[in-house]
Amino acid sequence: MTFIDLFAGAGGLSEGLKEAGFHCLFANEIMPTYARTYQNNHPGTIVTTADIRDLDADQVRRNLGLERGELDLVAGGPPCQGFSINAPVRRKDDSRNHLFREYLRFVEAFSPRFILIENVPGLVSFEHGETLRDISTALAGLGYGSDVRILGAAYYGVPQMRWRTIIIGIRGSELPKEAFPEPVVWAPIKPNFTTTFNGRQLVLSPTEKLDTHFTTVKEAIGDLPALKNGEKGDTVKEYAFSPYCSYQERARIASTGVYNHEAPRLSNINLKRLRFIRPGGNWTDIPHELLPKGMSIARKGDHTKRYGRVEPDGLASTILTKCDPHWGAYFHYDQDRSFTVREAARIQSFPDHFIFSGNMAEQFAQVGNAVPPLLAKAVGGCIYRLLSIT
């Protein structure tokens, strides 16, 4: 099964789809460092580093030797906020240009059997749902029956509180219900966003408390070598232990060692604060005289993830583009430091053979912007099965 990946980032979506059985023919990403990471980890894919608005979609298809309708899947995470089929045409250099139109341009040029779009949960409520309705209408105009769900990554084995909006479309018919993956594990997550659209519940939750338990933070990163604050060490490190759970075994497939595992350097004041924070605790554990400016007047029930030390047997905060303790629970559970890029990548479910390019800030951004591969694999598996029988 073949696909192309637009707005590809470092390749989290592609990595998951590859694990589901797909092969990516072509990917486009505007950020050079992201594209370099993608190319290094997907050497069999043609990767272009360009503004998608400068690409001729029909020419890309011809270069791949494909006729319209031959491609199995167009996948990607186009910015959808603000898209409207009734919006006026804007200049090419207008920063407000709706990049989702470029995704549709490739769908029209390739006419794939399926389309896959991922976005933030807020897409559902954006502009009171009008953006999502316009997307559905636009896809229908190209001959696709589509539907949308909000998936909790933790329900598919990803050890963090991350949610994604997933839109799937099929060419020429109504989308089957089984296009979306059912949760495979139970996890203690609750949505804090709008979960209904046109009167329908979009969140796929376990129908009952499944026996299979969620992946914990310790299961995700507990076999990685210990580091001190600011410690870099060797570029490639040895594992601290043999894998002691299936998550670690999966992470190590085809791995030659631990890359991207260097500890960011925390300031002295953050180190002082950290020593008061218990696993599962947060800024409320910090003595008042050491609190960050502004936090001293916050209510105890506010900002519950800020300056958090993760609970080893719990889930991590959503991995952001910066694992900055000011914005989430990014302190290690028993080492006095914040997460490394590799630990963030493990929590995102990237395998260890997936190596990130660029400086540390760029690497964190690539990890935080990515679709968790395990979530992408679950979605891709459903599409793969439907492609196999249609």
Q: 24 catalytic, yes or no?
A: no
Percent of residues in the chain assigned helix, strand, coil, to nearest 5: 30, 15, 55
Question: Is the sign of the CA dihedral 262, 268, 272, 274 positive or negative?
Answer: negative
Specify whether the backbone of 120 is left (phi greater than 0), alpha (psi in -120 to 50) or beta. Answer: beta
What does DSSP assign to residue 254? T
| Active-site annotation holder among 80, 245, 323, 382 | 80
Radius of gyration of the chain measured on its C-alpha atoms: 21
Q: Which of 118, 143, 122 is nearest to 131 (CA)?
A: 122
Using CA atoms, how far apart are residues 239 and 226, in angstroms rounded to an integer? 9
229-233: long-range pairs with CB below 8 Å, 24+: 229/263, 229/265, 229/266, 229/271, 229/336, 229/337, 230/263, 230/264, 230/265, 230/266, 230/337, 231/262, 231/263, 231/337, 232/262, 232/263, 233/261, 233/262
Those residues whose C-beta lies under 8 Å from the C-beta of residue 88, and which sit 6 or more positions away, are none
What positions carry a catalytic annotation? Answer: 80
